Amino acid sequence: MQSTHKLKIGALSALVVGSMVGGGIFSLPQNMAVSASAGAILIGWGITGVGMLALAFLFQSLAIRKPELDGGIYVYAKAGFGDYMGFSSAWGYWISAWLGNVSYFVLLFSTLGFFFPVFGDGNTLAAIIGSSVLLWGVHFLVLQGIREAAFINLITTIAKIVPLILFIIITAVAFQADIFTQDFWGDTSLELGSVADQVRNMMLVTVWVFIGIEGASIYSARAERRRDVGRATVVGFLGVLLLLVLVNVLSMGVMTQAELAGLSNPSMAGVLERAVGRWGVVLISIGLIISLTGALLSWTLLCAEILYVSARDHTMPALLRKENRKQVPANALWLSNGLIQIFLIITLFNEATYLNLFYLATAMILLPYFWSAAYALMLSLRGETYEGKPYERQRDMFIALVATLYAIWLIYAGGAQYVLLSALLYAPGALLFAKAKREQGVAVFTYIEKLIFLGVLLGAAMAIYGLYAGLLTL
């Protein structure tokens, strides 16, 4: 690939920020308040900050120590734990990416419904038609080139930060300490449960708003300088963490936990309406529309890229590594957006909501995060790439251990329902895995991988029964 097509640190950082700052932050006040009180939320952000910072440092370290592993999150699972684990990480991450895009379309047209009632809650016929037009508009934009789309993403990233900064300034002025400290631990709200339960229940929301932290590592092969990948990850994470905590905490000083929990999304609009009146709703709605448009572009890029890089090293079938004359993975893009289109149509019939979709998308990315953390821990335990550097080894071992424990905690916090639903979505991927293996003329599974796949099938069967019996819901 020519150097003119390489991404600089600004574009890489914008991809990270653009991927993380989508619709989640605009719905954060309600999404968090429905599960937790102010005290539990502060504890939860503390856990999330430490855990996600560990993941950010971990991706930074792996980008430098394993420069030959281009493609980001899935390659670490493959290098450390075999082909099927690598494929499953790529598959799970890809499903999470395009499911997230479906949820963004629903939220985008739900927001537009404020101005044009025909769009309703984002799943009316008019909304699906509008989503489809936008989907294929973004599709053909991306087909024009990764660098060009990344530049547009940089512009939209800057544009969507402005209303967030205004929100923070306005709510900081309107903040009232007595509202923030009212029922600080949720003692009078029996439906919230204990503080430990509150912290656990808010975890999937915090992961959702941070998905995309690994965005720069996925584009490592397209980076102008390898070191920029890690720097972009850490810089993007710290900036987004500050925005998220301020938006969440300041909102709880404008409205009580019960009031926030009762808001419709985007709930930032309701908070700003309380602070400054009706024009605040318009401001946040416009900001969300810009933000979601940028996030849709970021995640469309990521959807195609994860399939392309995994096909390039034979993890996925060869068909998915085909590029057009603009060096865009066209087949991967068509497959991703085709599935998004199908699911958009499905939302018309089953009334899928933003919350349903983002919880499922979040659950699908938990295992890829876990395998990446476990791989980094394995490298440090073995001392691989740390020859003559005992301090760096001990430091990275601690970071990887924190990240691994955090990933395990997230899987526990997600609960059995999402583990089983994830298994249901992971199981069909074996067909593509088998095709890729047959293209290479090798056995599909090792003995250990057969056992793992049987476990996935068992989980999928339990999920099907649970959905049929009404024990699980999408």
Quick: pLDDT tens for 349-374: 766 566 667 778 888 888 888 999 99
Nearest alpha-carbon partner for 27 in 302, 357, 418, 303: 357
pLDDT per residue as tens digits for the range 205-257: 888 777 767 665 566 666 777 677 767 777 778 888 898 999 999 999 999 99
Question: What's the distance, CA 119 to chain centroid?
Answer: 25
- Residue 438 has a pLDDT of 94
Instruction: Specify if 465 maps to a domain.
Output: no
d(CA 65, CA 399) in angstroms, rounded, equals 15
CATH number at residue 334: 1.20.1740.10
Name the strand (E) or helix (H) holding 421.
Answer: helix 416-426
Nearest alpha-carbon partner for 348 in 127, 74, 172, 108: 127
Instruction: Specify if 60 maps to a domain.
Output: yes
Is residue 403 a contact partner of residue 55, using CB atoms and an 8 Å limit?
yes
Instruction: Specify if 458 maps to a domain.
Output: no
DSSP secondary structure of 167-232: HHHHHHHH--HHHHHTTTT-TT-GGG--HHHHHHHTHHHHHHHHTTTTHHHHTGGGBSSHHHHHHH
Instruction: Specify if 7 maps to a domain.
Output: yes
- Residue 36 has a pLDDT of 92
d(CA 75, CA 93) in angstroms, rounded, equals 12
Instruction: Specify if 426 maps to a domain.
Output: no
The interaxial angle of helices 203-210 and 226-251, nearest 10 deg, is: 140
Instruction: Specify if 469 maps to a domain.
Output: no
- Residue 255 has a pLDDT of 96
Where do we find the tokens 């969440």? Answer: 248
Nearest alpha-carbon partner for 295 in 240, 342, 335: 240
- Residue 3 has a pLDDT of 39
For range 118-138, the mean pLDDT: 90
pLDDT above 60 (res 147): no
For range 151-170, the mean pLDDT: 78
How many structural domains comprise the chain?
1
Q: What is the pTM of this model?
A: 0.83
Instruction: Specify if 329 maps to a domain.
Output: yes
Q: Helix or strand or coil: residue 352?
A: coil
Residues 6+ apart with CB under 8 A from 462: 420, 423
d(CA 48, CA 403) in angstroms, rounded, equals 10
Instruction: Specify if 110 maps to a domain.
Output: yes
HSE, CB side, 13 Å, CA atoms: give it for residue 4: 4
- Residue 218 has a pLDDT of 60
pLDDT per residue as tens digits for the range 373-421: 999 999 999 998 888 888 899 999 999 999 999 999 988 888 888 889 8
- Residue 2 has a pLDDT of 37
- Ramachandran angles phi, psi of 153, nearest 5°: -60, -40
pLDDT per residue as tens digits for the range 4-26: 457 677 777 776 776 677 667 88
151: number of Cβ within 10 Å: 14
What CA–CA distances, in Å, run from 447 to 257, 438, 451? 51, 17, 7
DSSP 7: B
Is residue 190 a contact partner of residue 331, using CB atoms and an 8 Å limit?
no
pLDDT per residue as tens digits for the range 329-346: 899 999 999 999 998 988
Angle at 72 between CA 69 and CA 76, to 5 degrees: 60
**Mean pLDDT over the full length of the chain:** 85
For residue 43, give the amino acid letter: I
Task: Give the range among 5-19, 44-58, 159-173, 378-392 with minimum mean pLDDT.
Answer: 5-19
Predicted confidence band of residue 440 (pLDDT cuts 50, 70, 90): very high
pLDDT above 80 (res 1): no
465: number of Cβ within 10 Å: 12
What CA–CA distances, in Å, run from 263 to 123, 237, 248, 257? 19, 28, 14, 10
Is residue 211 a contact partner of residue 365, using CB atoms and an 8 Å limit?
yes
Task: State what percent of residues in the chain have pLDDT above 90.
Answer: 40
For range 429-437, the mean pLDDT: 94
Residues 6+ apart with CB under 8 A from 30: 260, 261, 262, 263, 264, 265, 267, 270
- Domain residues for the domain of 12 are 3-414
